[in-house]
Amino acid sequence: MNLPLIQSLARLALACLLVVPLCAQPQGRRQNDPPGGAQGAPSDRDRAASIARRATGGRVLGVKPKSGSQRVKILSRDGRVRVLEVDPRTGAVRP
């Protein structure tokens, strides 16, 4: 075998070794996904947003933690901004 052919084959083998790990990553949760993502349990923040959305029919503008509950800011269908306190564990909603 001549040297240019060996060098070309070596480069091809090296390229394959670099590409295969990227393609062989398991399906489901990816390396850079946050823990508790789409396949994990929803966070308190996600639960509170969902509860507030169902209770008002509005759009969630933001969620912030507040001493054991979550403060959820909602844009209602009539265009008003409302702030609710939602306990994601019990589902209780307070204005």
What is the residue-wise DSSP string for 48-81? HHHHHHHHH--EEEEEEEETTEEEEEEE-TTS-E
pLDDT at 7: 85
Is residue 29 within 8 Å of 45, Cβ to Cβ? no
What residues does each domain of the chain span? 42-95
What's the rounded Cα separation, in Å, for the pair 73 and 77? 13
pLDDT at 76 exceeding the cut of 80: yes
User: Given pLDDT bands bounded at 50, 70 and 90, which one contains residue 80?
Assistant: very high
Residue 42, Cβ neighbours under 10 Å: how many?
14
pTM of the model: 0.58
**31-74 pLDDT, tens per residue?**
555 555 455 678 999 999 999 999 999 999 999 999 889 999 99
What mean pLDDT, rounded, does the chain reach?
81
Give the SS3 label for residue 50: helix
pLDDT at 1: 58
